[in-house]
Amino acid sequence: MKLMKNLQNTFQGLIHASNRYPLTVLFLLAIAGINAMAIHQEQENYTRYLFTFFVGTVLSGVAQQVYERFFSKQRERFLLMGGAVLLSIGYYFIIRTTEVYSLEISIKTSVAVFALFLAYVWIPTIRKKLTFNESFMSAFKAFFTTVLFTLIIAAGVSSILFAIDRLLFSVDYKVTLYILNVVFSLFAPLYFLSFTPIYMSQNMRQSSEEERLLKQEQVRQAVSCPKTLAALISYVIIPLTVIYTAILLTYIVLNIRGSFWTNNLLEPMLVSYAVTVILVYILASNIENKVAAVFRKIFPKVLIPIVLFQTIASILKIGEMGITQGRYYVILFGVFATIAGLVFSFLPVRKNGIVAAVLITFCLLSIVPPIDAFTVSRVNQTHVLEEVLVKNNMLENNEVVPNASISEEDKVRITETFDYLERMDYVKDVEWLPSNVATYQQFETTFGFAKEYENQNTNQNGQYVNLDWNGELSLPVKGYDQLIRLDLYGSQTETSEKKTLTFEKDSSVYTLVKQLKDDGYYSLNLTDEKNNELIKIDMKDIFDKILTDKNVQKGTLTVEEATVMKENKQARVKILVESMDAYENQYNGSFYLFIEIK
């Protein structure tokens, strides 16, 4: 009976959520439909539609929260829903002219969705006795409960269909995808929304006293912190945070005059630390015990100097590396974390909603031109590249002049700045850069030198070459007895490995043995049917010849550049490199072997 009652409550919650968020349900149905079409027609790409409907889903949820908090008339509700639809349509027209996958659009969409979700949590607390911490706790519990139930249902459905397919009759794999699509696209979001209580909306002012008391009890249960979660936060998460804080503070004190300001690995660690402290503080705000109280009193004050130091360090790196969208967000988050620390330190817990408002504002600032992360980084990186070129007399009459004699530092600066512009698809926006400069060979032609990176090891650190397949290739095999393609994967950490390939000529069998040596490279040994060695090739020689040749390093190879000949009285082998890379102790490559038995 209890199970049936729980199932009944779940279905009632889903129905109630559907009635409460009708526009959200329509967007979710559209997402499910698009996913179903994508499953059915695997070649089609519906990414833009999925992004649009996903944004519309979140917008419609926020619109409903705004209506419940500030309005009561159905006309106002429809106007808010219409606004959500118009904003979704506007978003579609913004992204329809971009590439199928754009890093800039993806990041901006993610930031916007995060800000909208934060608004979804924060809006019910505006000028209310309900605090942001309580609303956040409700969303926090709803999220993890939804994840747990969704994964259980998905695993159960998949297991059942797998058993039917194996034991009873064949089931098309797409059936599983269709069902999982419904689970993740419809059930999961609606199940999450069903946990969001109505926080005493304007319409409830006309309700009876009994109904209001019932709603208040539902809200109290939704925002309360479960005992298990309270114990986990108080006696596990907070102590671990204390230990981590002690380690960070020790490092900062010991290195404040040295590597702290230049250690790139520390930056993401401190950002993740700040996120952890802020999240734990908000969750601990609902817990009334001594551990949580001490944490709330001390750690915001510890957070402030840590994020201030990191923000200053990140700002100093701008002079060295310029502004990228990543550094923009790191600095912006540092400013936000500092404000959060001040709010947590000097204002009562019920004022934590200020932190949410600040974060939403910062998110919007970071995606709205002309002060968004991407416009600022594009302008700055273009200026940095132009500045280095002008300093070295490499930019005249709006054209780049090749110059191989500049300093290694400037070569690295040009390479890394150009790589960023190319990675973000901004090269086309720089009028004095050729449109085809992105290729390795054209880069060297344009600037006069191959790409160079900081701490680059010219022997075996991060090198890569591949055969240029852009043009048509004609590879004659006349004069050779056998063509073999080999893939070689090795490292100094692997044990010796031996594999053989055989072929025939004039009724005689020949064997090519490839064996991994102790140094991480392979040797190739060609023998006849009496096991007599005809020729032996040490592939280390091939790697050294190609990767230490500065004319082809880290670029594409012509057929001539990719060809190495090995010959003696018994055999002749022409080796054509298809691709080759070496990084630290890893050596990999694909090769064509043209073999002639003399």
Express each pLDDT in 435-488 by its tens digit.
666 655 678 778 888 778 775 544 444 567 777 766 556 677 788 888 888 888
Q: Is 44 helix (H, G, I), strand (E, B) or coil?
A: coil
Domain that residue 281 falls in: 227-368
Q: What percent of the chain has pLDDT over 70?
A: 87
DSSP class of residue 123 equals G
DSSP class of residue 481 equals S
Within a domain: residue 400? Answer: yes
Structure tokens at 515: 């064996």
Q: How confident is the model at residue 585 (pLDDT cuts 50, 70, 90)?
A: low
Poorest-pLDDT segment among 186-200, 350-364, 475-489: 475-489
Question: Cα-flanking dihedrals φ and ψ of residue 555, to 5°?
Answer: -150, -170
Within a domain: residue 339? Answer: yes
> Among 405, 438, 456, where does a domain finish?
456
Report pLDDT for 458.
43
Q: Given a cut of 50, is residue 404 above it in pLDDT?
A: yes
Q: Are strands 482-491 and 586-597 parallel, antiparallel or unpaired?
A: antiparallel
| 330-337 LR contacts (CB < 8 Å, sep 24+) | 330/267, 330/271, 332/362, 332/365, 332/366, 332/373, 333/271, 333/274, 333/362, 334/271, 334/274, 334/307, 334/308, 334/310, 335/311, 335/362, 336/362, 337/274, 337/278, 337/303, 337/307
Instruction: List pLDDT tens digits, range 299-311.
Output: 999 999 888 888 8
Q: How far apart are CA 190 and CA 457, in angstroms?
A: 54
Q: What percent of the chain has pLDDT over 90?
A: 38
Q: How far apart are CA 366 and CA 376, in angstroms?
A: 10
User: Do 187 and 83 belong to one domain?
Assistant: yes
Q: How far apart are CA 489 and CA 522, in angstroms?
A: 9
Report pLDDT for 560.
81
Report pLDDT for 491.
57
Calculate mean pLDDT across residues 49-55: 93
Q: Where are the beta strands (DSSP E) in 454-585?
A: 463-467, 482-491, 498-505, 508-516, 522-527, 533-538, 556-557, 563-567, 571-583
Q: Given a cut of 70, is residue 264 above it in pLDDT?
A: no
Nearest to 324 by CA among 368, 380, 365: 380
Q: How far apart are CA 220 and CA 227, in angstroms?
A: 14
Q: How far apart are CA 418 and CA 437, in angstroms?
A: 10
Within a domain: residue 431? Answer: yes
Report pLDDT for 201.
57
Q: How far apart are CA 268 and CA 247, in angstroms?
A: 15
Q: How confident is the model at residue 128 (pLDDT cuts 50, 70, 90)?
A: confident
Instruction: List pLDDT tens digits, range 543-579.
Output: 877 776 645 445 677 788 888 899 998 899 999 888 8
Q: Given a cut of 90, is residue 138 above it in pLDDT?
A: yes
User: Cβ–Cβ contacts within 10 Å for residue 369, how many?
Assistant: 8
User: Do 219 and 231 belong to one domain?
Assistant: no
Poorest-pLDDT segment among 254-258, 285-289, 447-451: 254-258
Report pLDDT for 553.
46
Report pLDDT for 455.
59
Within a domain: residue 502? Answer: yes
> Among 325, 350, 368, where does a domain finish?
368
DSSP class of residue 25 equals H
Report pLDDT for 96.
79
Report pLDDT for 116.
95
Structure tokens at 129: 């006795």
Within a domain: residue 545? Answer: yes
Mean pLDDT, rounded, of the chain? 85
Within a domain: residue 405? Answer: yes
User: Do 350 and 406 belong to one domain?
Assistant: no
Instruction: List pLDDT tens digits, range 223-240.
Output: 888 899 999 999 999 999
Q: Is 589 helix (H, G, I), strand (E, B) or coil?
A: strand
User: Do 182 and 203 belong to one domain?
Assistant: yes
Q: Residue 573: beta bridge partners?
A: 566, 595
Within a domain: residue 144? Answer: yes
> Are the CB atoms for 439 and 556 separated by under 8 Å?
yes
User: Do 491 and 391 belong to one domain?
Assistant: no
Calculate mean pLDDT across residues 318-338: 88
Within a domain: residue 38? Answer: yes
> Among 331, 350, 368, where does a domain finish?
368
User: Do 472 and 556 belong to one domain?
Assistant: yes
Report pLDDT for 179.
93
User: Cβ–Cβ contacts within 10 Å for residue 98, how many?
Assistant: 13
Report pLDDT for 492.
46
Q: How confident is the model at residue 206 (pLDDT cuts 50, 70, 90)?
A: low
Report pLDDT for 319.
75
Structure tokens at 392: 């070295």
Calculate mean pLDDT across residues 274-280: 92
> Are the CB atoms for 467 and 559 separated by under 8 Å?
yes
User: Do 213 and 266 belong to one domain?
Assistant: no
Q: How far apart are CA 459 and CA 145, in angstroms?
A: 52
Q: Is 248 helix (H, G, I), strand (E, B) or coil?
A: helix
User: Do 176 and 35 belong to one domain?
Assistant: yes
Instruction: List pLDDT tens digits, range 153-177.
Output: 999 999 999 999 888 888 888 899 9
> Are the CB atoms for 60 and 81 separated by under 8 Å?
yes
User: Do 441 and 506 belong to one domain?
Assistant: no
User: Do 156 and 285 belong to one domain?
Assistant: no
User: How far is residue 41 from each of residues 17, 54, 214, measured CA to CA in Å?
Assistant: 31, 20, 49
User: Cβ–Cβ contacts within 10 Å for residue 101, how many?
Assistant: 9
Strongest mean pLDDT among 102-116, 138-152, 523-537: 138-152
Q: How far apart are CA 98 and CA 111, in angstroms?
A: 18
> Are the CB atoms for 281 and 296 separated by under 8 Å?
yes
Report pLDDT for 377.
93
User: How far is residue 87 from each of residues 63, 83, 84, 370, measured CA to CA in Å?
Assistant: 11, 6, 5, 20
What is the value of pTM for the model shown? 0.74
> Are the CB atoms for 351 and 100 separated by under 8 Å?
no
User: Do 266 and 344 belong to one domain?
Assistant: yes
Domain count, the chain: 4
Q: How far apart are CA 291 and CA 232, in angstroms?
A: 12
User: Cβ–Cβ contacts within 10 Å for residue 506, how many?
Assistant: 6
Report pLDDT for 554.
52
Report pLDDT for 446.
85
Report pLDDT for 20.
92
Q: Given a cut of 70, is residue 348 above it in pLDDT?
A: yes
Q: Given a cut of 80, is residue 60 above it in pLDDT?
A: yes
Q: How confident is the model at residue 493 (pLDDT cuts 50, 70, 90)?
A: very low
User: Do 215 and 249 belong to one domain?
Assistant: no
Report pLDDT for 211.
67
Calculate mean pLDDT across residues 512-521: 79
> Are the CB atoms for 387 and 395 separated by under 8 Å?
no
